[in-house]
């Protein structure tokens, strides 16, 4: 199947860049990303939290201390680095290898699902968001820090032009309409915070009564 081949290509790409990933992202983290991650994790609710796309564990410093956190990633090599970091920094987290498009959790499991700069790389983002909705409890929250197609026409044109190169090198689609994809998956978008012309903090919710 095309989806399986594409997903495998993404996994291999992140396995390949895992040893260099923190170095490659270092400037961006110091520039803005760390503060944006803190902002995103400040929006979580409840105790049972799922992080989709844990990578090398860049969000570990922002985990709520009283939460029960499960974190997944498609790449085994990224998970190895996350595991080493969790042990080194005494972070309480359950790390699992898993595809965001096929989550191996029961329905209605988590109070909040969080992802930071992940769904640009998921081959079928709507399918991934449908899975996020499925495993989120009724009334549960979804917090997303994602880059989207710019609202600047010239920048959007340039991003569309160079997107194939970015996908090939880093596996990231810079031109996705993530807010629209969240809505297509059946989640209710509550707030969209514009961080700059291409990054948004999206807060969404699954329909239903909020669990105590």
Please state the domain extents for the chain. Answer: 2-205
Q: What is the pLDDT of residue 33?
A: 86
Give the pLDDT score at 3: 67
Confidence of residue 20 (pLDDT cuts 50, 70, 90): confident
C-alpha 210/C-alpha 154 separation (Å) is 42
CATH 3.40.50.150, applies to 2-205: yes
Which tops the pLDDT comparison, 158 or 49?
49
Number of residues in the chain: 212
Per-residue buried b or exposed e for 40-72, using 16+ beta carbons within 10 Å of the residue's own CB: bbebbbbebbbbbbbbbbbbbebbeeebebbbb
- Does residue 160 contact residue 190 with C-beta atoms inside 8 Å? no
pLDDT tens digits, one per residue of 71-129 = 999 999 999 999 999 999 999 999 999 999 999 999 999 999 999 999 988 989 999 99
| Tokens found for residue 162 | 């160079």
Task: Say if residue 69's pLDDT is above 80.
Answer: yes
Structure token digits, residue 210? 């909020």
pLDDT value at residue 16: 84
**pLDDT value, residue 41:** 97
- Judge contact between 202 and 125, C-beta under 8 A: no
Tell me what pLDDT residue 27 has.
56
* Structure token digits, residue 156: 């959007």
Q: Which contiguous run of DSSP H or E holds residue 79?
A: helix 76-89
Q: Which residues contact 172 (CB under 8 A, 6 or more apart)?
A: 117, 120, 121, 147, 166
Question: Comparing 5-19, 108-122, 157-171, which segment has the lowest mean pLDDT?
Answer: 157-171
């Amino acid at each position: 199947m095309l989806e399986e081949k594409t997903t495998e290509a993404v996994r291999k790409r992140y396995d390949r860049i895992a040893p260099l990933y923190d170095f490659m992202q270092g400037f961006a983290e110091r520039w803005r990303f760390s503060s944006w991650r803190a902002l995103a994790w400040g929006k979580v609710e409840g105790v049972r939290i799922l992080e989709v796309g844990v990578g090398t564990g860049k969000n570990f410093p922002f985990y709520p201390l009283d939460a029960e956190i499960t974190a997944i990633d498609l790449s085994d090599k990224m998970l190895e680095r996350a595991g080493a970091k969790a042990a080194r920094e005494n972070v309480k987290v359950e790390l699992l290898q898993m595809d965001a498009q096929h989550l191996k959790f029961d329905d209605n499991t988590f109070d909040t699902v969080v992802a930071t700069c992940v769904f640009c790389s998921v081959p079928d983002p709507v399918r991934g968001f449908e899975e996020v909705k499925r495993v989120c409890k009724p009334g549960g929250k979804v917090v997303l820090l994602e880059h989207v197609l710019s609202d600047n026409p010239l920048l959007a044109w340039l991003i569309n032009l160079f997107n194939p190169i970015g996908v090939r090198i880093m596996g990231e689609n810079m031109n996705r309409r993530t807010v629209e994809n969240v809505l297509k998956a059946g989640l209710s978008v509550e707030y969209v915070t514009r961080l700059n012309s291409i990054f948004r903090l999206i807060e969404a919710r699954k329909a239903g009564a909020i669990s105590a």
